[in-house]
Amino acid sequence: MNISRFVGAVVGVWIVRVALNWIFYAKIIGRQYAQISSAHPGMLRTVIPAYIATDLIFALAFTFLFAKAGAALGGGVKGGVILGVIVAVLSPVIGTLYEYYGVTYLPGTMEVAIAIFQVIAHAVEGAVAGLIYASRRPWASAASQA
């Protein structure tokens, strides 16, 4: 594993993940969350620093998985996208289904939107990991590319 490419990919995935989550959860469906929170006080929490720290943990784990399994999935952007979709289905999409069946205050349309967003976001994050981690810098020596 190339540490500099790994760190670069982690930072790239982390930044993209934070930005995508902010756009979707704050700007696109934020008003709907605020309405649900008003109707059900104390049911939802907003702890932005914790979300950002959790996104860093995700970026570390996801990039590690990419570094170890990305080549088996096609390598580069393609391998990252495939890994992103697999991770999305195994975690947030399945979690969203459990959430939908487990609580009554979240509408089905919102849960579908979240599941779709998660698949797209994870695919984009995977593409970023693949693009950064698998990139070859022409000015670097062949030994440092290994």
Domain ranges of the chain: 3-137
Listed residue (28, 52, 42, 34) closest to 113, CA to CA? 28
pLDDT at 141: 47
User: Could you report the per-residue pLDDT of 68-115, keeping only the tens digit for each?
Assistant: 999 999 999 999 999 999 999 999 999 999 999 988 888 999 999 999
Give 3 or 142, the one with higher predicted confidence.
3
Give 145 or 37, the one with higher predicted confidence.
37
Question: How far apart, in whole angstroms, are the C-alpha atoms of residue 35 and residue 139?
Answer: 53
Residue 140 has pLDDT above 70, yes or no: no
**pTM of the predicted model, to two decimals?**
0.86
Give just the sign of the alpha carbon dihedral 43, 48, 51, 57.
Answer: negative
**Identity of the amino acid at 101:** Y
Q: What is the dihedral of CA 18, 8, 146, 128, to 10 degrees?
A: 40
Q: How confident is the model at residue 134 (pLDDT cuts 50, 70, 90)?
A: confident
Using the structure block, give the residue that is written with the tokens 């096609």: 74
Question: How far apart, in whole angstroms, are the C-alpha atoms of residue 79 and residue 98?
Answer: 28
